[in-house]
Amino acid sequence: MATLNIRKLPEKVHARLRVRAAKAGRSMEAEARHILTTAVADERKQTFDPAALQDFVADLFGGKPPPLTDDLIAERRREAARERRR
């Protein structure tokens, strides 16, 4: 098994981990292992949500949806045509 050392852990986090471990009847090390295992397992359970992605991207563009790929391609073609005419 791998080993993980955590440096510069804030005292408040250390104290809360100690209390949480005691409530669960585990050592601090076992509690930290449980927390990390649960966190990683939850990541795999997440499903792709297209609506959430769309909202995230819209927020990046100031609340407006970004131009569609077809629009970008058409714009680039117009630019290329103008460049050829020069």
- pLDDT tens-digit readout, 9-61: 899 999 999 999 999 999 999 999 999 998 888 666 667 778 888 788 777 77
Three-class SS of the chain: CCCCCCCCCCHHHHHHHHHHHHHHCCCHHHHHHHHHHHHHHHHHHCCCCHHHHHHHHHHHCCCCCCCCHHHHHHHHHHHHHHHHHC
pLDDT at 15: 95
**Is-above-0.75 flag for pTM?**
no
